[in-house]
């Protein structure tokens, strides 16, 4: 009994499609073709990424040989405490079984971050809340087993894996969230760049190795400053990140002089000096507060010189 098309399995549909292609090619070329002679991609294309949001997932497979992942995603009605579970196989041998809780949305993907020929398994989960927090967890094959590492809780979207310098390797491109709220509202803040490279199973901060990208971001900050000045908006939150970005570029003095000429002298955001949870004083002005903050965050030495 022939099943109607709507009830055929995915594999049956793939075979039917391949047979149709084979017949059409044979008619055109006058040469009989078998299904086995067709490219594997014509029969099935393995998934390498899944976005998880509003629909439950049961035993969905991601694969790029020799790594294979079985994914299960159980969403609760409110969307706050969804469960992402997964099994990771290497050459079809089960190596990892793990799960994470996530709110509203998450993803799981296979990407070769270090271009060594074996894909890493990457999960992205979200804790919920107005901005915080996103966690990226990576499982990489190292010396006969999967090594688990993560980038910790990161504000908002956390960052993204991106190829930024033409070497086909993916860097994790993010920002220094310590600058958010430091001298302005969240929306008025413009944090400096942070870039991490995945090397030997761990993330290494390689921010200063990408000056072209850093300069492009500095230019965007500059444009934001112009718009903020025109709209009498919060400029100190942008200037703080701009000075730090110029330090990363080796142009500290230029950034500092620009800040001195353009900062908002009326704003007292971030001027409070605290010890633990207690306010113990106040900085004289924004430049003094920014200098102390840049020292605290490691952009300046204790003597006020740019770190290298």
What mean pLDDT do residues 22-41 have?
39
pLDDT exceeds 70 at position 39: no
Of the pLDDT bands very low, low, confident and very high (cuts 50, 70, 90), residue 212 is: very high
CB-CB contact of 140 with 88 (8 Å): no
pLDDT exceeds 60 at position 40: no
Q: What percent of the chain has pLDDT over 70?
A: 83
265 and 231 in one domain?
A: yes
3-state DSSP assignment of residue 168: coil
Instruction: Please report the pLDDT score of residue 79 as a whole number.
Output: 67
Q: How far apart are CA 272 and CA 19, in angstroms?
A: 73
Q: What is the count of structural domains for the chain?
A: 2
Q: How far apart are CA 245 and CA 226, in angstroms?
A: 17
Q: Say which residues have a Cβ less than 8 Å from residue 58's Cβ, sequence separation at least 6.
A: 72
Instruction: Please report the pLDDT score of residue 166 as a whole number.
Output: 83
Q: Of 158, 192, 215, at which residue does a domain stop?
A: 158
In a domain, 36, yes or no: no
244 and 282 in one domain?
A: yes
In a domain, 21, yes or no: no
Of the pLDDT bands very low, low, confident and very high (cuts 50, 70, 90), residue 135 is: very high
Instruction: Please report the pLDDT score of residue 173 as a whole number.
Output: 96
248 and 123 in one domain?
A: no
170 and 119 in one domain?
A: no
The dihedrals phi and psi of 138, each to the nearest 5 degrees, come to: -125, 135
Of the pLDDT bands very low, low, confident and very high (cuts 50, 70, 90), residue 74 is: very high
Please report how many Cα atoms fall inside a 13 Å half-sphere around the Cα of residue 226, on the Cβ side. 6
In a domain, 132, yes or no: yes
Q: What percent of the chain has pLDDT over 90?
A: 66
208 and 119 in one domain?
A: no
In a domain, 218, yes or no: yes
Strands of the 120-126 sheet, one edge to the other:
49-52, 106-111, 120-126, 134-142, 145-150
289 and 201 in one domain?
A: yes
Task: Count CB neighbours of 213 within 10 A.
Answer: 17
Mean pLDDT, rounded, of the chain = 85
Rg of the chain, C-alpha, whole Å: 26
Handedness of CA 151, 154, 157, 158 (dihedral sign): negative
CATH number at residue 98: 2.40.128
284 and 166 in one domain?
A: yes
In a domain, 37, yes or no: no
CA 245 to chain centre: 20
In a domain, 5, yes or no: no
Six-digit token string for 25: 């090619």
Instruction: Please report the pLDDT score of residue 44 as a whole number.
Output: 64
In a domain, 117, yes or no: yes
CB-CB contact of 175 with 206 (8 Å): no
Six-digit token string for 133: 């927090």
Of the pLDDT bands very low, low, confident and very high (cuts 50, 70, 90), residue 124 is: very high
3-state DSSP assignment of residue 73: strand
Instruction: Please report the pLDDT score of residue 8 as a whole number.
Output: 38
Instruction: Please report the pLDDT score of residue 230 as a whole number.
Output: 63
Q: Of 96, 130, 158, at which residue does a domain stop?
A: 158
108 and 207 in one domain?
A: no
Q: Of 131, 158, 185, at which residue does a domain stop?
A: 158
By C-alpha distance, which of 170, 211, 177 is closest to 192?
177
Strands 134-142 and 120-126: antiparallel
In a domain, 177, yes or no: yes
pLDDT exceeds 70 at position 158: yes
Q: What own/partner pairs with CB < 8 Å and gap ≥ 24 does 256-261 have?
A: 259/287, 259/290, 260/287
64 and 54 in one domain?
A: yes
By C-alpha distance, which of 60, 56, 39 is closest to 110?
60
Instruction: Please report the pLDDT score of residue 250 as a whole number.
Output: 97
304 and 176 in one domain?
A: yes
DSSP state of 208: G
Q: The domain containing residue 120 runs over which residues?
A: 46-158
181 and 114 in one domain?
A: no
114 and 50 in one domain?
A: yes
Residues listed for the chain: 308
Instruction: Please report the pLDDT score of residue 161 as a whole number.
Output: 94
């Amino acid at each position: 009994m022939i099943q109607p098309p709507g009830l055929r399995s995915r594999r049956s549909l793939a075979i039917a499609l391949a047979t149709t292609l084979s017949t059409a090619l044979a008619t055109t070329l006058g040469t009989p073709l078998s299904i086995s002679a067709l490219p594997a991609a014509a029969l099935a294309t393995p998934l390498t990424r899944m976005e998880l949001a509003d629909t439950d997932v049961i035993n969905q497979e991601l694969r790029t040989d020799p790594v294979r992942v079985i994914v299960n995603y159980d969403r609760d009605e409110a969307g706050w405490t969804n469960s992402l579970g997964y099994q990771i196989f290497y050459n079809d041998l089960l190596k990892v079984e793990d799960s994470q809780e996530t709110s509203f949305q998450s993803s799981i993907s296979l990407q070769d971050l270090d271009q060594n020929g074996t894909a890493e398994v990457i999960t992205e989960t979200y804790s919920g809340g107005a901005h915080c927090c996103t966690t990226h967890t990576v499982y990489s094959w190292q010396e006969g087993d999967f090594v688990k590492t993560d980038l910790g809780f990161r504000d908002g979207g956390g960052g993204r894996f991106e190829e930024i310098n033409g070497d086909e390797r993916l860097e994790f491109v993010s920002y220094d969230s310590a600058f958010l709220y430091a001298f302005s509202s969240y929306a008025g803040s413009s944090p400096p760049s942070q870039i991490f490279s995945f090397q030997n199973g761990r993330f290494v901060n390689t921010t200063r190795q990408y000056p072209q990208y850093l300069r492009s971001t500095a230019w965007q900050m500059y444009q934001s400053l112009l718009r903020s000045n025109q709209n009498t908006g919060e400029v100190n939150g942008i200037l703080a990140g701009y000075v730090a970005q110029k330090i990363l570029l080796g142009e500290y003095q230029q950034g500092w002089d620009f800040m001195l000429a353009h900062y908002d002298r009326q704003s007292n955001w971030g001027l409070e000096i605290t010890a633990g949870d207690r306010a113990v004083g106040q900085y004289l002005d924004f430049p003094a507060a920014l200098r102390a903050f840049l020292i605290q965050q490691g952009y300046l030495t204790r003597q006020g010189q740019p770190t290298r």
